């Protein structure tokens, strides 16, 4: 499905009302994630991003892990709203987990010592660009998605559950599914306060 | 000009051979940057990104500042390659400077103390998404671009030269212009080492 670049960028929203259905096949979802990891830029072309796509029961398991992790630390009398939020994520179709491979970052730090403080920051930039591409691409296919950050709370259990390399560091979780309601209007601060032009 | 989302994503490259011409009007460049700052997501919809578009003599001035800053710290017998690199950037058409407004981040930290360590990281994610959108959009219009990081070396002089607020923190510089040569082929690590699917 061809969508104009700006139509896709402007159409990207945080959608929280997601159902356990998809508008596209699992194969197409996997293709989108694979194309994103192939074509999104990375600092020094390090290709440091690692992605995990969870569908079906594997997606449910992620949110069960997150729910039980939070249950252990959120006061019981405040847990109801957390439980509702978790139920919302679990009720979606799938999740993309974004990791950065720390061994790649350490390799860059060793090779280019002058920038060793910068590589961890640029690695975060790299991850964020991948998050944006997949978020926008999935929504261009009629899905809704929202970006979560339950790292580092869930990192160890996630790595253990899916037997992921120890050097993969979790950065974000993109939850997606078929939207069950339209999101509200976007609010914008005036652009003239955020952009200056000198020519 | 309408370009398919994936065509734009796959077409985005680091292009270093840039001329002092543009494929589109200054008004269109400004429109792209304005649309990006309006529609690119930000953590908690904080809209923390601030952009400066430099064209013409203002673009030249940025690279003169960067060159003189580097001249003071790079050993004289190694400066020739730095000078050539700077001449390349200066020889391009324009630069977009990406800042984050630290006062917005501090506001979030005060309002949501539980996440105070995370907001600076998410602010970097926000900036990176803006970098990606503008880079990709400019190249979809036939321009070439590359992303540089001479911050924090040049921050104080840049803020002083263009009288920018003290709370704007520089994150990256996107140099762009009409490509004078085609970039080389991209090299990809195998996708199967970077993406795992569980369903």
Q: Where are the domains of chain B?
A: 5-193
Q: How many residues in chain B?
A: 199
Q: Which of B6, B38, B126 has its CB closest to that of A35? A: B6
| pLDDT greater than 90 at residue B197 | yes
Asked whether B176 and B21 are in contact (CB, 8 A), the reply is: no
Q: Rounded mean pLDDT of A118-126?
A: 98
- Residue B195, both tokens: 């993406």
> Which candidate in A48, A125, A172 is best for mutational testing of the B interface (most B CBs within 10 A)?
A125
Q: Rounded mean pLDDT of B181-191?
A: 90
Q: Which pLDDT score, from 0 to 100, does residue B185 have?
A: 86
> Distance from B2 to chain A by nearest Cα, in Å?
6
Percent share of chain B, pLDDT over 90: 94
Q: Rounded mean pLDDT of A15-44?
A: 97
What class is the A29-180 domain?
alpha beta
Dihedral (Cα; B4, B5, B9, B13), 10-degree rounding: 40
Asked whether A25 and B199 are in contact (CB, 8 A), the reply is: no
Q: Which of B6, B34, B125 has its CB closest to that of A124? A: B125
Q: Which of B33, B189, B197 has its CB closest to that of A47? A: B189
Residues of A in contact with B33 (CB under 8 A): 195, 197
The tens digit of pLDDT for each residue in B106-154 reads 999 999 999 999 999 999 999 999 999 999 999 999 999 999 999 999 9
Residues of A in contact with B164 (CB under 8 A): 196
Instruction: Enumerate the H helices of B40-189 as residue ranges.
Output: 57-71, 79-90, 102-111, 119-140, 155-161
Q: Rounded mean pLDDT of A160-185?
A: 96
> Distance from A174 to chain B by nearest Cα, in Å?
13
Q: Which of A8, A147, A198 has its CB closest to that of B54? A: A198
Residues of A in contact with B30 (CB under 8 A): 197
CATH architecture of the domain with residue range B5-193: 3-Layer(aba) Sandwich (3.40)
Q: Which pLDDT score, from 0 to 100, does residue B198 have?
A: 98
Q: Which of B45, B132, B195 has its CB closest to that of A37? A: B195
Query: What ipTM does this complex have?
Result: 0.97
Q: Which pLDDT score, from 0 to 100, does residue B186 have?
A: 85
Q: Which residue of A has its CA nearest to B52?
A: A196
Residues of B in contact with A122 (CB under 8 A): 149
Dihedral (Cα; B158, B162, B168, B174), 10-degree rounding: -60
Q: Which pLDDT score, from 0 to 100, does residue A1 have?
A: 57
Q: Which pLDDT score, from 0 to 100, does residue B1 have?
A: 58
> Which residue has better confidence, A73 or B185?
A73
The tens digit of pLDDT for each residue in B155-181 reads 999 999 999 999 999 999 999 999 999
SS3 A56: coil
Label each residue of B16-35 as H, E or C.
CCEECCCCCCHHHHHHHHHH
> Distance from B159 to chain A by nearest Cα, in Å?
12
Q: Which pLDDT score, from 0 to 100, does residue B183 have?
A: 86
Residues of B in contact with A3 (CB under 8 A): 4-5
Give CA separation, A40 vs A11, A50, A106, A121, B41, in Å: 19, 12, 21, 17, 17
Q: Rounded mean pLDDT of A4-12?
A: 97
Give the CA radius of gyration of chain B.
Answer: 18
């Amino acid at each position: 499905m061809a969508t104009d670049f700006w139509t896709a960028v402007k159409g990207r929203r945080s959608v929280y009302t997601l159902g356990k259905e998809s508008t596209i096949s699992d194969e197409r979802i996997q293709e989108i994630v694979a194309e994103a990891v192939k074509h999104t830029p990375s600092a020094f072309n390090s290709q440091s991003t690692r992605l995990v796509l969870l569908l079906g029961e594997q997606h449910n398991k992620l949110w069960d892990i997150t729910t039980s992790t939070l249950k252990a630390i959120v006061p019981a009398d405040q847990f109801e709203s957390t439980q509702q939020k978790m139920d919302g994520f679990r009720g979606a179709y799938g999740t993309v987990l974004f990791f950065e491979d720390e061994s790649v970052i350490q390799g860059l730090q060793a090779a280019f010592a002058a920038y060793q403080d910068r590589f961890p920051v640029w690695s975060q930039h790299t991850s964020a660009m991948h998050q944006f591409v997949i978020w926008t691409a999935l929504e261009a296919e009629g899905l809704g998605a929202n970006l979560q950050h339950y790292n580092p709370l869930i990192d160890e259990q996630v790595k253990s559950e899916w037997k992921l390399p120890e050097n993969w560091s979790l950065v974000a979780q993109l939850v997606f599914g078929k939207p069950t309601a339209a999101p509200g209007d976007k609010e914008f601060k005036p652009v003239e306060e955020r952009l200056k032009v000198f020519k």
